[in-house]
Amino acid sequence: MAIKVHGPVMSPAVMRVVATLKEKELDFELLSVNMQTGDHKKEPFISLNPFGQVPAFEDGDLKLFESRAITQYIAHTYADKGNQLLANEPKKMAIMSVWMEVESTKFDPIASKLNFELVVKPMLGMVTDDAAVTENEEKLGKILDVYESRLKDSKYLGGESFTLADLHHAPVVHYLMGTKVKSLFDARPHVKDWCADILARPAWSKALELHKQ
Amino acid sequence: MAIKVHGPVMSPAVMRVVATLKEKELDFELLSVNMQTGDHKKEPFISLNPFGQVPAFEDGDLKLFESRAITQYIAHTYADKGNQLLANEPKKMAIMSVWMEVESTKFDPIASKLNFELVVKPMLGMVTDDAAVTENEEKLGKILDVYESRLKDSKYLGGESFTLADLHHAPVVHYLMGTKVKSLFDARPHVKDWCADILARPAWSKALELHKQ
């Protein structure tokens, strides 16, 4: 099998890649990386990603890391497979890129911090930092205000069709839906509908099924 | 004039866009935004960028924000102008994307924090947080270790030619070169040469000339 994804499927960054592969209906091999024993910081993994973070990705002789670079490679290279995940003309692509940057530089640092405090720490028996939660809830609320305004005018963040700009949010949104932060999404009707939409996609359900294996 | 960049030219994010336009030898109009009076948080600016951050960008009827989305739009749309800033085939483009993501999600949060503490705060008469500097110097050192290793094998981060993956670093590297953090770059010979190379580009000098106006 040509495509390999290295990393634990519970990781949001791994899920971002897996969901993209499911949208494109591509076969792939998922290779576990034991992060509890630090395998992501050792060879052979760090030859795939010198930063020692999951996921790493292989397609034949091409080796990549950084989940959002991987999803873009998949969406471009396999444009004719499965669901289209890119905008269909250059100006629309530029607007999609804007919202991909918003996800990666604005939404994700805050949403991932909340995920760490409210999902990961309890799972590991660590104590949640309530002050950090409050601070990041406030920040997330301000970002979601902009999302609400954007989603009033546009069905999806990147434009009228579902693209990587939406998909990149799915893993962390999925986890936050199981926490009290859900109320921040639910309080904004267009954001609430958008969350429901991106999490109801068949490819997302297929990606989640891997959690059970 | 069709292309407009809104924002103060001293801002690293604005410089990222300006340097790209200079590489592409494109004419543009630079429109100042007075951040001291909070004009970036008010209309008409927030209609261009709802997050109230510089830069905002216009090319005819297309309005964009997020500096890295803007540079990608310019590099793709004006591919036949000035210097090529993209890799020339899909697999190389994917590798360039990896290093663009590394810059935006790993290098920039830390380097920009150091820039804030060591350049911006002194300029505004604020007190530098020495503990934050020490913490981020350590983090930056680890990232530059990976860069050193990458630049041993590859002339530029994205591949054998200069691309956006390098250019995106230039503004913050430029500012940090005037601080004690310069020693972290200088201690790594390939990183040191790479910094000298990207800051010696004629387009970068032309971008810097705008600081004097």
Find the DSSP H helices in chain A.
12-23, 45-48, 67-77, 90-102, 108-115, 121-124, 130-153, 164-167, 170-176, 182-186, 189-199, 202-209
Question: Where is A64: in which H helix or E strand?
Answer: strand A62-65
**What is the chain A residue with the closest CA to B102?**
A66
Contact (Cβ atoms closer than 8 angstroms) between residue A20 and residue A71: yes
**Distant-in-sequence contacts of B36-45, Cβ < 8 A, 24+ apart:** B40/B7, B45/B6
- Average pLDDT of A186-190? 98
What amino acid occupies position A136?
Answer: N
Any residues with CB less than 8 A from the CB of A2 and at least 6 apart, and which? A59, A60
pLDDT digits (tens, 9 = 90+) for B151-203: 999 999 999 999 999 999 999 999 999 999 999 999 999 999 999 999 999 99
Asked if the Cβ–Cβ distance from B94 to A69 is below 8 Å, we say yes
Cα distance between residue A57 and residue A14, in whole Å: 10
pLDDT at A2: 87
- The answer, yes or no, to whether residue A29 has pLDDT greater than 70, is yes
Burial of A199 (0-12, 13-18, 19+ CB in 10 A): middle
In the three-class reduction of DSSP (H, G, I as helix; E, B as strand; rest coil), residue A14 is classed as helix
Average pLDDT of every residue of chain A: 96
Tokens of B103: 């810059």
Q: What phi, psi does B11 have (nearest 5°)?
A: -70, 130
Any residues with CB less than 8 A from the CB of B164 and at least 6 apart, and which? B20, B68, B71, B72, B75, B85, B86, B96, B100, B158
pLDDT at B213: 74
pLDDT digits (tens, 9 = 90+) for B34-53: 888 888 998 999 999 999 99
Asked if the Cβ–Cβ distance from B104 to A106 is below 8 Å, we say no
pLDDT at A56: 97
> CA angle, A169 as apex, A36 and B73 as ends, to 5°?
120
Q: Of A60, A36, A40, which is closest to residue A50 (Cα–Cα)?
A: A40
Mutate to test the interface with B, among A41, A59, A71, A73 (most CBs of B within 10 A): A73
pLDDT at A211: 87
Burial of B97 (0-12, 13-18, 19+ CB in 10 A): buried
What amino acid occupies position B76?
Answer: H
pLDDT digits (tens, 9 = 90+) for A117-135: 999 999 999 999 999 999 9
pLDDT digits (tens, 9 = 90+) for B106-149: 999 999 999 999 999 999 999 999 999 999 999 999 999 999 99
Mutate to test the interface with B, among A93, A97, A140 (most CBs of B within 10 A): A97
Contact (Cβ atoms closer than 8 angstroms) between residue B122 and residue B180: no
**What is the chain B residue with the closest CA to A106?**
B51
Cα distance between residue B142 and residue B130, in whole Å: 19
Cα distance between residue B97 and residue A71, in whole Å: 10
> CA angle, B81 as apex, B80 and B85 as ends, to 5°?
80
pLDDT digits (tens, 9 = 90+) for A34-89: 888 888 998 999 899 999 999 999 999 999 999 999 999 999 999 999 999 999 89
- Residues forming a β-bridge with A89: none
pLDDT at A198: 98
Q: What phi, psi does B210 have (nearest 5°)?
A: -65, -20
Largest CA-CA distance found in chain B, in angstroms, rounded: 48
Burial of B32 (0-12, 13-18, 19+ CB in 10 A): exposed
Q: How many residues does chain B have?
A: 213
Cα distance between residue B200 and residue B211, in whole Å: 16
**Distant-in-sequence contacts of B35-38, Cβ < 8 A, 24+ apart:** B35/B8
Name the band, by pLDDT with cuts 50, 70 and 90, for residue A186: very high
Name the band, by pLDDT with cuts 50, 70 and 90, for residue B212: confident
Higher pLDDT, A212 or A108: A108
- ipTM metric: 0.96
Distance of CA A92 to the CA centre of its chain: 21
- The answer, yes or no, to whether residue A1 has pLDDT greater than 80, is no
pLDDT at A135: 98
Cα distance between residue A158 and residue A161, in whole Å: 7
Q: How far is B23 from chain A (nearest CA, A)?
A: 19
Asked if the Cβ–Cβ distance from B90 to A72 is below 8 Å, we say no
Asked if the Cβ–Cβ distance from B101 to A68 is below 8 Å, we say yes
Q: How far is CA B34 from CA B6, B31, B42, B43, B64, in A?
A: 10, 10, 11, 12, 19
In the three-class reduction of DSSP (H, G, I as helix; E, B as strand; rest coil), residue A145 is classed as helix
- The answer, yes or no, to whether residue B1 has pLDDT greater than 70, is no
The single residue listed with the structure tokens 């994205």 is B158
Asked if the Cβ–Cβ distance from B62 to A149 is below 8 Å, we say no
